[in-house]
Amino acid sequence: MKRSLLYSGKAKDIYLTEDDELIVSCYKDQATAFNGLKKEEVIGKGRLNNQISSLIFEKLNRAGIATHFVEKLSDTEQLNKKVAIIPLEVVLRNYTAGSFSKRFGVAEGIQLEQPIVEFYYKKDELDDPFINDEHVAFLDIASKEEIAYIKEETRKINGLLSSWFAEIGLTLIDFKLEFGKDKDGQIILADEFSPDNCRLWDADGHHMDKDVFRRGLGEMTDVYQIVWEKLQELD
């Protein structure tokens, strides 16, 4: 099914297929942090991220969220709709943590009265700077209507994910999403959802996400395996 390499990223390789509207995403055993400054091979990470992301996207599809996910092809590969990625990293924060805490000088773990949606300009050479709605409009990334839709969809996704993770004893602290436009110009959820692009804490405050790699707190695959096993308990 795979034809030729379209794009090689930090966590995935993207391949064209015989169908111009479909791509194959192949998850890598590679971990990166701090915009690629820290990089290691982590055996088994690609398999776990693909399994977790496939399960989450399947549930989102069934819940009525439009996504690029079609099906899981193998342990490390999935079939996705081809989209034109909107160059925005959309971050939703339920609790203070990470760069948010550092930026505003507040402790981690404070629950926000209202979840906060943030935008980051998806440009590696600029270190993905934090931007607001007016910057998005100035850069002609998205219209006001599209910005409103992306925010609404992100909050809807947050409601679903927070509920699912709560069912298995995990708190969704924050997460990053990416959206793209399909062949009809519809904005749909793309990329992936895994412990690579969210923060999950257990009841004791232990990190069940990529922070174990960023902060040297343990083995990524150990905690990702726990997340995967817990997710399989969901209906």
Q: Is the pLDDT of residue 37 over 70?
A: no
Contacts with 188 (C-beta within 8 Å, 6 or more apart), sequence order: 66, 67, 68, 81, 83, 179, 180, 181, 182
What proportion of the chain, given as a percentage, has pLDDT over 70?
97
Q: What is the pTM of this model?
A: 0.94
For CATH 3.30.200.20, the residue range(s) in the chain are: 2-81
Q: How many CB atoms lie within 10 A of CB 101?
A: 16
In the predicted structure, residue 36 carries a pLDDT above the cut 80: no
Among candidates 114, 78, 29, which has minimal Cα distance to 190? 78
CB 117 within 8 A of CB 90: yes
List pLDDT tens digits, range 7-20.
898 899 999 999 99
Per-residue model confidence (pLDDT) at position 30: 87
Number of Cβ within 10 Å of residue 15's Cβ equals 19
Cite the residue boundaries of each domain of the chain with CATH code 3.30.470.20.
84-219
Fold of 2-81: Phosphorylase Kinase; domain 1 (3.30.200)
Comparing 45 with 124, the larger pLDDT belongs to 45
Give the bridge partners for 38, in sequence order.
33
Pick the CATH number of 84-219 from 3.50.50.60, 1.20.272.10, 3.30.70.20, 3.30.470.20: 3.30.470.20
Mean pLDDT over 96-100 rounds to 95
How much is the pLDDT for 40? 84
Q: What is the spatial distance between Cα 63 and Cα 159, in angstroms, rounded to a whole number?
A: 11
Give CA–CA dist 234/24, Å, rounded: 26
Q: Which residues pair with 81 in a beta bridge?
A: 22
The string of pLDDT tens digits covering residues 47-66 is 999 999 999 999 999 999 99
